[in-house]
Amino acid sequence: MFEASHLHKRFGHHVVLEDVSMAFEQGRLSGIMGPNGAGKTTSFNLLTGRYAPDRGRVTFEGRDITGRAPQAIARLGISRSFQVMNLFDDYSALDNVLIATPEVRAKGFSMFSSLRENSLAHETLERVGLASRGHVKARDLSYGDRRALEIGVALAAKPRLLFLDEPTAGLGTEATARIARLIAELKRDLTIVLIEHDMKFLFGLADHIYVMH
């Protein structure tokens, strides 16, 4: 479904990625693990368009998407979360999800307030366990709820391929177990690529794991 071939990336004189190749099969959960500084998040940034590789090729469903802008890649059906959470803190949980829905993206932000009964947004909140917290501002949610909300924002775009960058970062045992149950459920419908430091968490979910050194 998705393939990266011989990716290279440097920033100034610092080589971050050298000859990295990966392939992700449809309907499977692929993991990426490795020590800090190995280039895992940089790989995600190349695969999802935040950076363009210096060399190498990225394809999605046979289409070359190398160096395309993030929004162009997202429109093809690819969503991602971030290692450092990207949420609108002054907006409610529902509004954070609503902004990412195809309907709002198609009609523009000016239509935002008239679409608060959007069924996809409410279904997404329920899916990530936040149905009763939709009215709460993102900044007032617990850290675990914020992690779940960010996954909800990625899901609201109705992706076919979902990249998750360390979704359990900073979580305790109970919250980590909650995210594991959520991802196991999402795995039934989505192709997922997951960066994770927690080996037990990753080994319990992944069908295939790449190790970066």
- pLDDT per 10-residue tile (average), the chain, 213 residues: 96 93 95 90 91 95 93 90 80 90 69 63 90 93 92 91 91 90 93 92 94 90
DSSP symbol at 92: B
C-alpha to C-alpha distance for 96 and 122, rounded to whole angstroms: 11
C-alpha to C-alpha distance for 143 and 175, rounded to whole angstroms: 9
What is the pLDDT, as a whole number, of residue 112? 54
Q: Record the tokens describing residue 35, joined without a space.
A: 């020590």
C-alpha to C-alpha distance for 203 and 24, rounded to whole angstroms: 16
What is the pLDDT, as a whole number, of residue 113? 56
Q: C-alpha angle with apex 34: 13 to 167, nearest 5 degrees?
A: 110
How many Cβ atoms from other residues are within 10 Å of residue 23's Cβ? Answer: 13
What is the pLDDT, as a whole number, of residue 53? 95
pTM, two decimals, is: 0.87
What is the pLDDT, as a whole number, of residue 100? 84
C-alpha to C-alpha distance for 104 and 50, rounded to whole angstroms: 22
